Structure 1
Amino acid sequence: MASIPEIGDIVGDFCLPGGHLDGETFHRRDYTLCEQRGKPLVLVFYPGDNTPVCTAQLCSYSDGIDQLQSAGATVWGISPQGLDSHEKFARNRRLSMPLLSDEERVVAKSFGISAPLIGLRRSVFIVNGHGRLHWKHVTAIGASYPPAVTLSTHLAGLTG
Structure 2
Amino acid sequence: MLAVGTPAPVFVARTTRGDSISLRELHGRIVVLYFFRRAFTPNCTVETKGFRDNYEDLVQLGSEVVGVSCDDYATQCRFASTHDVRFPMIADEDRSISRAYDVFFPILPLAHRVTYVIDRDGVIAGVFNHEFQVIKHLDEVVRFTRDLAMRSKLPPAR
TM-score per shorter chain, which class? 0.7 to 0.9
> Which SS does the other structure have where 1:38 is aligned?
coil
- Structure 1: 5+ residue runs without aligned partners? 20-26
Counterparts of 1:71 and 1:112, CA distance in 2 = 27
The 3 A distance-change label for structure 1 pair 87 and 129 is same
Correspondence for 2:25: 35
Counterparts of 1:67 and 1:41, CA distance in 2 = 13
2:118 corresponds to 1:127: yes
2:117 corresponds to 1:143: no
Aligned length: 148
Which residue identity lines up with residue 5 of structure 2 in the other structure?
G
Per-residue CA distance 1:30-81 (angstroms, 9 max, x = gap):
2211111011000010001111000000001101111111111100000001
Counterparts of 1:14 and 1:28, CA distance in 2 = 16
Question: Relative to total residues, which structure has the larger strand share, 1 or 2?
Answer: 1
CA contact (8 A) 1:80 1:101 kept: yes
The 3 A distance-change label for structure 1 pair 42 and 30 is same
2:46 corresponds to 1:56: yes
Question: Relative to total residues, which structure has the larger helix share, 1 or 2?
Answer: 2
Normalised to the residue count of structure 1, the TM-score between the two structures is: 0.84
CA RMSD of aligned residues (A): 1.8
Counterparts of 2:34 and 2:56, CA distance in 1 = 16
Q: How does 1:110-125 map to 2 (within 5 A)?
A: 110-115=100-105, 117=108, 119-125=110-116
Correspondence for 1:22: none
Correspondence for 2:156: none
Q: Share of identical aligned residues, percent?
A: 18
Which residue identity lines up with residue 80 of structure 1 in the other structure?
C
Counterparts of 2:151 and 2:66, CA distance in 1 = 18
Normalised to the residue count of structure 2, the TM-score between the two structures is: 0.85
C-alpha deviation, 1:111, in angstroms? 1.4
Counterparts of 2:15 and 2:55, CA distance in 1 = 18
2:152 corresponds to 1:159: yes
C-alpha deviation, 1:159, in angstroms? 2.6
C-alpha deviation, 1:88, in angstroms? 0.8
- Structure 2: 5+ residue runs without aligned partners? 154-158
